[in-house]
Amino acid sequence: MENQDRLTPIFHKYLNNQCSPAEVAELFVFFRAGEDPELLRSLILEQLNKPTGHISVEEPDDEMVFERVFNSISTHIELQAPDIQVIGKRLYYWIGIAASFLIVSSISLYLYYSAHQPLNNLGRNKVHQADIVPGSNRAMLTLSNGLVIALNEARNGELAKQRNGIINKTKDGEVVYRSNSNQANAVNAEFNTITTPRGGQYTIVLPDGSKVWLNATSSLKFPVAFTGAVRNVELRGEAYFEVAKDKNKPFKLTVNGATVEVLGTHFNVMAYSEETKTRTTLLEGSVRISKGDKSGLLKPGQQADIDGQNNIRINEADTEQAMAWKNGYFKFNRDNIQTIMRQLSRWYDIDVAYEGKIPDDEFVGKIRRSVNLSEVLKVLKMSNVHFKIVDKKIIVTD
């Protein structure tokens, strides 16, 4: 009874966009914890059966609709809205990914205007016409002869033939190289480059069977066939590697003047020019990192950071954070707003500028990369951060 007396008015305020950040936090934390599913049931059904002159419900079966709504909410809370904690200036509260993205949006799936237009006035924030969508699978493949292929526009099947192999695009949208065994030992290897733009990502299978996931604003240069004693590739940006095992042919990755050498392993490398360090995170196997006269050996669960003075520092890694982009979400671990905005700039293809003092809040938590930019900004605005959007430029203000 105490829970109902407390949360029912908050729920109604939520539907009318009148909740404070603390109330939004309380609401989502309560339901995510599953403390009183019957209260959530009654609140949802109350809204479904609420008479109004603007809403028509198409032959509702309350129990059936509730089960679908409740399951949808549970799924979103688990997958879309692991908690985000904003730390700084005495802000210690937990918030979901964005108000209206969970409970209200699930309810509104079943409520329509008579013209079958989605309902907007149950507290669901309207998406601005200029809302910015997330990135997608986009990349350009530049062949050794200068030919450029837009991979996201190319048809599935054979893309090109080269002396050392054949390039195919699978139905899953991956690029796969097959070496020509008759030319595998050719002296002069041909090199191709795959490049992702801002707002793009792509997956490629190299001639040796190694698989590489490229994050936005990244490029990988590689041979059409690994003809020598070493499998050499070059990276700019960020990529996750699952290297095929071959004890007779080490796999060497060159990135920002450093070398990552492996035989067969899984690791992530983040080497954006706008970041202050190059970071290699090891998931499986072992890798040796070297730059200049310095080197280090990584074990699974460790990461190596190389700074501007070529110092190599090895620490225990937050592997979940390192793999977050590849697994479809952002993960923040006491990250400041500038670090976060650089990630958003790359994924949402936006420019970022700052006005006034840069906020010093830190953020901890996750957000799916599949949501529109407005949903991410709603979360960040729960702190002391404010935004202005001008075309595809985000201006951060205090």
Q: Catalogue all structural domains in the chain, each as residue range(s) with its CATH number.
A: 2-108 (no CATH), 136-322 (2.60.120.1440), 328-397 (3.55.50.30)
Q: Tell me, what's the pLDDT at 382?
A: 74
Phi, psi of 25 (to 5 degrees): -60, -45
Residue 342 clears pLDDT 70, i.e. is over it: yes
Q: What is the mean pLDDT of residues 140-154?
A: 94
Q: How far apart are CA 76 and CA 14, in angstroms?
A: 17
Q: What is the mean pLDDT of residues 374-385?
A: 82
Q: Where does the pLDDT of residue 290 fall: very low under 50, low under 70, confident under 90, or very high at 90 and above? A: very high
Per-residue pLDDT tens over the stretch 157-213: 999 988 778 899 999 899 999 877 555 555 567 899 999 999 999 999 999 999 999
- pTM summary value: 0.71
Residue with tokens 């697994």: 327
248: left (phi over 0), alpha (psi -120 to 50) or beta: alpha
Q: Are strands 136-137 and 393-397 parallel, antiparallel or unpaired?
A: unpaired
More reliable by pLDDT, 275 or 49: 275
Per-residue pLDDT tens over the stretch 88-135: 433 333 333 333 333 333 333 233 222 233 323 333 333 344 689 999
Q: Where are the beta strands (DSSP E) in 45-105?
A: 84-88, 91-95
